[in-house]
Amino acid sequence: MPVLSLPSPRTSRPLGGLLGRIGNTPMVRLTQLTTGVVPDAVEVWVKCEWFNPGGSVKARAALAMVLDAERRGLLRPGHTILDASSGNTGIAYALIAAARGYKLRLCLPANANAERKAVLRAYGAEIIETSPMDGSDGAIARARAIMAEDPEDTVYLDQYGNDANWQAHFRTTGPEIWRDTDGRITHFVAALGTSGTFTGTTRFLKAQSPGLRAVSLQPDSPYHALEGWKHMETAVVPRIYDPDLADENVEIPSEEALELTRRLATEEGLLTGPSGGGAVWGALEVARNLESGVVVALLADGGERYLSHAHVFGG
């Protein structure tokens, strides 16, 4: 039984349609990239989060944070959601806001890709661009400054410090992985951004199997090509980040991650974003040093949002 039990969030307005389809994303075992690279007794699986509405893992946390704010009476129809994002959480907020009757103001680094901005505008979101040199930290600072002005009918959800973020993964992502591996998972591998995915999923999986190894991934430099990832040593550390939770941290080089992003598409048929390539690079690093085991990596989003980036797919 889990050592931590979280009540299910309740809302007076039931979910339906698209929002009810968030979660239960597919798991795929890698076969081509692992041949001759990892021992035969080691399995490497990936959880394909771009199958969520909104196209990324962030749909889970965004929905949980909105429902939590509704349950606590902070968010009501006609209100404005405010937050900072590198793009994926923003898109998730945008579709949820449209479906639940809210406006959205999103602080977004100006160098976020064109596809993300186009999707956000299509949903009716207001984009407040921040300095690309400051990354997500600059977007966070801008959102906090806006909130300090105390705008009426605006709710700052603060994905980097909101416990509903990691709790979403404790309730959904972790149980799905446990179920879909029949409890055989031995290693969980995921990147750190807000850290919500890694934190919530790891807490659930370790509650089921205390011997499970959790491996967090970070870029190997503050200057990197992995959108949404944080180099914790030099970044504003999210409040929900627990530095003691990972059994191991692997630093991911951007060029190798981008190469694996391309190979996932051409060799496995998985069109994922650069963070997915980074996650698989980390998973293979873990897997090649095992004699046996089941390694699960999380692929945060799909590759369609990166097709205009020549450094990713050569387009």
Residues identified as active-site = 58, 275
CA atoms within 13 A on the CB side of 65: 26
CA 158, 163, 168: angle at the middle one, nearest 5? Answer: 105
H or E element, residue 299: strand 293-299
Residues in contact with 178: Cβ distance below 8 Å, sequence separation at least 6, in sequence order:
185, 204, 205, 208
- The values of phi and psi at residue 109, to 5°, are -55, 140
Q: Which residues pair with 27 in a beta bridge?
A: 47
* Cα 14 to chain centroid, rounded: 24
Structure tokens at 262: 């391309």
How many Cβ atoms are within 10 Å of 118's Cβ, its own excluded? Answer: 10
- The three-state secondary structure class of 106 is strand
Give CA–CA dist 152/150, Å, rounded.
6
Cβ atoms of 250 and 283 within 8 Å: the answer is no
| DSSP-assigned letter for residue 20 | G
Cβ atoms of 104 and 94 within 8 Å: the answer is yes
Give CA–CA dist 193/116, Å, rounded.
17
Structure tokens at 46: 């990936």
Nearest CA to 297 among 209, 181, 219, 171?
181
